[in-house]
């Protein structure tokens, strides 16, 4: 959806039509990892979809647009995986807090 919005609004940035790929692939990775996770109550496990999504997006940008050599690419992927996992972990707790504050959201 984000890739389509970027194209429709004309905010291409440096990616152009490849925005569809750079925004779609991380979403696919997130869905695939969610498919294999069966324990939705463990916050450390729920950080993996966000980590893999973030790392896949970084992989595309770093290889297609930035043409990074192997060592900087590996550093970028490791950092994006770590920060994606951290973001997924934090979002788990924000989600639970929102459910406690607004119980109608839990439907």
Q: What pTM, to 2 d.p., does this model score?
A: 0.84
Model pLDDT, residue 102: 94
Q: Tell me how far CA of residue 50 lies from CA of 39, 62, 65, 68, 69, in angstroms.
A: 15, 18, 22, 23, 25
Task: Give the dihedral sign, CA 97/39/25/64.
Answer: positive
Each residue's pLDDT expressed in tens, for the chain with a length of 107 residues = 777 787 788 776 667 778 888 889 999 999 999 998 877 778 888 899 999 999 999 999 999 989 999 999 999 999 999 999 999 999 989 988 999 999 998 87
Model pLDDT, residue 22: 87
């Amino acid at each position: 959806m984000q890739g389509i919005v970027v194209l429709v609004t004309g905010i291409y940035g440096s990616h152009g039509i490849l925005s569809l790929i750079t925004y779609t692939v991380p979403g696919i990775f997130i869905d695939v990892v969610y498919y294999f996770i069966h324990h939705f109550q463990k916050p450390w496990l729920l950080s993996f979809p966000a980590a893999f999504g973030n790392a896949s997006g970084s992989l595309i940008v770093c290889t297609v647009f930035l043409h990074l050599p192997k060592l900087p690419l590996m550093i970028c992927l490791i950092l994006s995986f770590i920060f994606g996992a951290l973001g997924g972990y934090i979002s788990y707790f924000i989600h639970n807090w929102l459910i406690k504050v607004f119980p109608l959201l839990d439907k």
